[in-house]
Structure 1
Amino acid sequence: MLELELNGQRYSKAHHASGLMAQLEGRSRKSIDFKHCNISAVMLQLGYPYIRGYKPLANYQGLLFDVVEDRLRGNRSVDQAVEAAVGRPAAEVSIPAMDIVWVDPPPAAKRPAETWRPTFRHLVRDYLAQEARNRSLGQAGELFVAEFEARRLDAAGKKSLAARVEHVAASMGDGLGFDVLSFDLDGRERLIEVKTTSFGELTPFFVSRNELARSEADRDQYHLYRVFDFRDQPRLFGLQGAISEQCSLDPVSYLARVA
């Protein structure tokens, strides 16, 4: 199903589940959907996106991890589909309706980080990191947020503030620790860092040391906007304040110097 989804082909989760129920006697549709959510968590741990609609549930058995890893190993067609998806150039997207675009943050966004243990697995991909390096996707997401903010302020009767919304990552550089300068309705500056993905809302994202520091220094004004499902039905949610207080942070790499 993931391969079909990434290739833009239609499929039916219900039809797929019915087939599994026929093969797995005694399994309900709910239990099958639950297992797919477990698989989504495994996929993320291995560096892959997950199937839209199956939100990751991490309380899975080790055997499931091994089975999923084994199925993915050597499955070149899935790898090719993901590689194409994360590297595909993104076009600018217009906002259909404000009330459809803005959603509440997912509850799992504030879960405590799990204790990390080394696995030394052969199959670990960095597809999510590759997507994060897709500059056209990142820029398209930033422009999307800039338009959203201008329309939000304009709809509230703050036309002068709407006109001052600025894509500062483009006009001033990307070292500010945020991407879009906007405003609250009272005129207070809103510093917005934008993180964009073509995948689901629970897809992990990467933050820099500079972004973390800016969110700490200006926590009352700092907002992280997570844009997701960007290519199909773009939506976003916001997290206000220090990133370290809003998200579970997992150090995945280090800058090393000879001691």
Structure 2
Amino acid sequence: MLIAELGQQRYNKAALNRQLAERLPKRSPGSIEFKHCNISAILRDADCPYVPGYKPRSNYQAILADSVEECLLRSEIFDRAALSAAERPAIETSPETLDGLVVHPPTTSLQVQERPGSYVIKRDYLAREARNRDLGHAGECFILAYERQRLISQGASQLAEAVEHVAETQGDGTGFDIRSFSADGSERLIEVKTTAFAKECAFFISPNELNCSRDNAESYHLYRLFDFRKQPRMFCLQGDLHDQLWLEPDSYRAGVR
């Protein structure tokens, strides 16, 4: 399923699960799904994409992590598929509707020191995706269009015209990508983090962006745009990010606390 997902090929999750259940008659459908979620957690801890719909569940056994490492993570086919997905170009698009676009942040995201990551060797697929300029630019343009649509829908057309793509007009050193507004005219400084992968995937944030969130806590917003190629949605974090994220100091890899 994961190889097909990464290759943007169609697959029937229910049919594949039925085949698996036939091979594991002593396992209930619920236990099989739970094991899929354990595998998602292992892949998450290895900085790898995983199959959507199987939310990561931690507290997995070391023997399962060893099996995933041996059977999947060392697979050349998986490596090629994951690299291709991380580096695939993206085209600019805009929201078809504002309904359902904004969702709640992940409810649980364990801090680095609490995660059993010692079981697996980390890969660099998320880091490679973070360096995908086409994807990053497409995500910023999507949010630019979203902000304008949002303000127009709230009766603030003049403010919509004033929304600025700061990453384009001033470069990357400001600590945010887009200058927008709330309907009452107050400023929004928006940093956009885009992934084609799942909501729970970690992202990377710079010291400059963190400091900007602290210095402009009342106006700073981080928009985490996920599942970008298939069904773009996002969650938002507002204010000083230091207390809202876990961080790996050496890489500034981050996730929601």
TM-score range, shorter chain: over 0.9
Correspondence for 1:11: 11
Aligned alpha-carbon RMSD (Å): 1.8
Alignment of 1:206-217 (within 5 A): 206-217=204-215
Alignment of 1:137-176 (within 5 A): 137-176=135-174
Equivalent position SS for 2:85:
helix
Deviations 1:124-153 (A, max 9, x none): 310000000000100110110011011100
Correspondence for 1:257: none
- TM-score (norm: length of structure 1): 0.92
Equivalent position SS for 1:27:
coil
C-alpha contact 1:201 1:228 (8 A) present in aligned 2: yes
Correspondence for 2:25: 25
How many pairs does the alignment contain?
Answer: 252
- State the shift of 1:120 in Å: 8.9
Deviations 1:57-97 (A, max 9, x none): 12211111111001125411111111111111110112111
Correspondence for 1:220: 218
Any stretches of 5+ residues in structure 2 without a counterpart? Answer: 253-257
Query: In terms of mean alpha carbon deviation, does 93-102 or 82-91 score higher?
Result: 93-102
Distance 2:38 2:137 in 1: 32
Task: Give the fraction of aligned pairs with identical amino acids, expressed as a percent.
Answer: 49
Amino acid at match of 2:163: V
Correspondence for 1:115: 114
- State the shift of 1:26 in Å: 2.6
Any stretches of 5+ residues in structure 1 without a counterpart? Answer: 255-259
Distance 2:21 2:163 in 1: 52
Distance 1:34 1:248 in 2: 25
Amino acid at match of 1:15: A
Correspondence for 1:72: 72
1:247 aligns with 2:245: yes
Amino acid at match of 1:185: A
Alignment of 1:43-122 (within 5 A): 43-109=43-109, 111-115=110-114, 119=118
- State the shift of 1:213 in Å: 0.6
- State the shift of 1:252 in Å: 4.2
- State the shift of 1:246 in Å: 1.8
Amino acid at match of 1:87: E
Amino acid at match of 1:101: L
Distance 1:85 1:64 in 2: 25
C-alpha contact 2:65 2:119 (8 A) present in aligned 1: no
C-alpha contact 2:194 2:226 (8 A) present in aligned 1: yes
C-alpha contact 1:112 1:248 (8 A) present in aligned 2: yes
Amino acid at match of 1:18: R
- TM-score (norm: length of structure 2): 0.92
- State the shift of 1:45 in Å: 1.6
Distance 1:118 1:141 in 2: 29
**Cα 1:161–1:118, aligned 2, differ >3 Å: closer, same or farther?**
closer
Amino acid at match of 2:65: F
